Amino acid sequence: MSGGRFDFDDGGAYCGGWEGGKAHGHGLCTGPKGQGEYSGSWNFGFEVAGVYTWPSGNTFEGYWSQGKRHGLGIETKGRWLYKGEWVAISFSNA
């Protein structure tokens, strides 16, 4: 496994581990135009476990499967906190 930085055409970037030309291991991916960031572990291009932070400051910390929140996690929205299990929930403007 190697590491490095990749800048996407849309302005986003990934910095972390690579294997087989995909994000693998630990890394940080920022969205284009400040649309949020994910920091955590990756498995061949997909998020596994980590924290996604939206520009609003809302966060989701937990598990992922095939790019969707899936499994146990904690979502914070302002003073609200939700702890529970997600089943294949896609990104949305939280």
Flag whether 63 is in a domain: yes
Domain count along the chain: 1
Instruction: State the Cα–Cα distance between residues 12 and 4, nearest whole angstrom.
Output: 14
Instruction: State the Cα–Cα distance between residues 72 and 49, nearest whole angstrom.
Output: 10
- CATH number for the domain that contains residue 32: 2.20.110
pLDDT in tens, 9-23: 999 999 999 999 899
Domain around 41: 2-89
pLDDT band for position 29 (50/70/90)?
very high
Flag whether 70 is in a domain: yes
Instruction: State the Cα–Cα distance between residues 59 and 22, nearest whole angstrom.
Output: 24
Flag whether 60 is in a domain: yes
Flag whether 94 is in a domain: no
Nearest alpha-carbon partner for 46 in 7, 14, 83, 2: 14
